[in-house]
Amino acid sequence: MSGSGRRRLPGREGLERSQVDSEALAEWDRERRKRGFDRFLLFTDAVVAIAITLLILPVVDRASEIGSDDLTVSSIIHESGSQIYAFLLSFLVIAVLWLRHQEIFQNVETVNRALVWANLAWLLTIIALAFTTALTARHNSDSIAAPIYIGNVALSSLMLTLSVTSLTRRPELLYPGTPAHAVHLRSAWIATGLLVLATLLVVLVPVVSYFAMLLLFLQRPLIRLLAPHEQLEDNWDA
């Protein structure tokens, strides 16, 4: 075979240029994913902040009536007791759910389509809390209000649990070196299971009402028993 028919191998300069191009492409891809993940977290935090702010608006509307029709601060507080209770309850619930979300995603480097949709579904349940909170405030004595509210919280917990499940199946979405137990899969299912149980309890025994959510205090003992390697951090667990 003649020399002109031989395949020319890339020289050293060509190999170096190819390596530089590959590294530049990898760096561009990492930066693109980082920007996308940052937008993902900013959007999530913004929606949660808006949802938690909406909770106080009914109380603010009542406060604007002070001075009219001989309404005083004490009378408004007395008449708005159920609204204030519902606001404080939902504020605590959303705060705990958001802290749980932060605990999950602090180990995440990037997201895929399934994780984004699970997160959007979670945000939908957070927004729905504005409606179920209003039911709690206006129909606190109605036997259907508590199951709807606790069911809403259980569904929100389920969406977070599905996010955790997705991460365990796609560990490449996590930061390199993240241990498998860091995503707290069993802990997530325990919390969701307790909330589902609380929903069923309040349906079967309506007199229990919102106290059914106290079942969540069993979460830590159950984690110690069933998932001792997934101890929750005191900073995040309520």
The pLDDT of residue 53 = 92
pLDDT in tens, the chain (238 residues): 444 455 554 555 555 555 556 666 556 556 666 777 889 999 999 999 999 999 988 877 776 666 666 666 677 677 777 888 899 999 999 999 999 999 999 989 888 899 999 999 999 999 999 999 998 888 766 778 999 999 999 999 999 999 999 998 998 888 888 886 777 888 899 999 999 999 999 999 999 999 999 999 998 898 888 877 765 554 434 3
The pLDDT of residue 238 = 39
Domain boundaries, the chain: 12-230
CA distance linking residue 97 with residue 191, whole number of Å: 11
Supply the pTM of this predicted model. 0.79
